Amino acid sequence: MYGDPHHVHTTTISQEVASFVMDNPNIPTFCMGDLNNIMHVNEKCGLNPANAARIRNFCWLVKNCGFFDLGYNGLAYTWTNKHFTTNPTFQRLDRCLANAEWCVAFPRTVVFHFPMIYSDHTSFLAILDSHTEKPKKPF
């Protein structure tokens, strides 16, 4: 999925996603891509504050669709404005979302964020049947 970077068509995109999910109940659903939205203020680092209304609307879409954020391994931010010497901004705009049916069908899905090399976005990979053991937390 590709979210509108200018937030002109965000409502239309959200309605299409919600409609797809509502028209296909109980089917494993996975949504990944540059969603051009963040879910928490801590997913943005830069001079300008995060837009609370956009966060609220995006979180509403995620909740309304029954999606879960699948998390990630690797870099916390997936986009930068590349203004490293003046006013850098970093955000987590790219993510993988899935519904409960997906999580039951593919319980070992693991997401990796890779370093930014040529693009202003990281590349990322979702492995659906990972054999990577989740690290055990010390007591």
Q: What tens-digit pLDDT sequence spans the chain (139 residues)?
A: 899 999 999 999 999 999 999 999 999 999 999 999 999 999 999 999 999 999 999 999 999 999 999 999 999 999 999 999 999 999 999 999 999 999 999 999 999 999 998 999 999 999 998 676 655 666 6
From CA 14, how far away is CA 109, in angstroms rounded?
24
Q: Which residue type is seen at 77?
A: Y
Instruction: List, in sequence order, every residue forming a beta bridge with 98; answer none if it has no partner.
Output: 30, 68
What pTM was computed for the model? 0.89
Contact 41, 81 (CB under 8 A): no
Beta-carbon contacts of 39 under 8 Å, excluding residues fewer than 6 positions away, are 55, 58, 59, 62, 69, 95
Domains parsed from the chain with CATH numbers? 10-127 (3.60.10.10)
